[in-house]
Amino acid sequence: MNALLLPGLDGTGELFAPLIAALAARGVTASAVRYPTRECLSYDALVARVLSALPPAPFVLVGESFSGPIALRVARSKPAGLKGVVLAASFVRRPVPRALGPFARLGFALPAPDFGLRWILAGRDAKPEVIEALQAALRQVSSKVLAHRLRQILSLDAREDFQACPVPLLYLAGAKDRLVSPRIGVRLKRRRPDLQVLTLPSPHLVLQRHAEECAAAIAEFAADPGLPVHVAPTS
């Protein structure tokens, strides 16, 4: 089984290293798509980029945060061999108030302080190597590209793509997520009762902070997307 990982706002795919290793240990071959770091592309253009990088069948798509809507759009095109879609701390409409956009865009023009990354993304108890990896990924991407991606999020509406998704869906939520409320998974399940929701005791970077549990859930889901996923969250 293969898994194609679609990255969060940074778009580098480098933050997936722990997850890729954990998936490999469970027999899942994972690869990450890398988005341009200096070119502003729309969601539609990024969908085309993902479609050109699909792995051999069978495979699942894992859309992290910003990339959840991309995974849903790709799935709607019904690519051969796609067995399921995993949404990790993601959304189908903007997860933050539109009024916060100018403040967030201003922040991209400055180096992100460690305490800010901990508070918003990684959690106060994140290990230094998690923060270092996050800083290294963000340094690769221009502030113009990050701001452009944020604007894409603020105008997003992927509800139709979510509703029309032709394959089973799994949602991985972080109970301590300050950026994307864990309640989003609950709301999405009201729209798609077949959606499986797994909530982990994690901040926004659920795939990084709980790579082992997420890998176990993704591997179980990939093996048979029609069966319930049973993964015991750790503290």
Residue-averaged pLDDT of the chain:
91
Tokens 């918003």, located at residue:
120
Average pLDDT over residues 1-19: 97
Non-local CB neighbours of 102 within 8 Å, separated by 6+ positions: none
The fraction of the chain above a pLDDT of 70, given in percent, is 91
State yes or no: pLDDT of 99 exceeds 50: no
For the segment 61-89, what is each residue's pLDDT rounded down to a tens digit? 999 999 999 999 999 999 999 999 999 99
Cα angle at 198 between 196 and 202, to 5 degrees? 155
**124 vs 96, residue with greater confidence:** 124
Q: Which domains does the chain have, with CATH numbers?
A: 2-223 (3.40.50.1820)
State yes or no: pLDDT of 164 exceeds 70: yes
pLDDT score at 103: 46
State yes or no: pLDDT of 51 exceeds 90: yes
pLDDT score at 105: 52
pLDDT score at 98: 47
What is d(CA 72, CA 109) in angstroms, rounded to the nearest whole number?
30
pTM tops 0.85:
yes
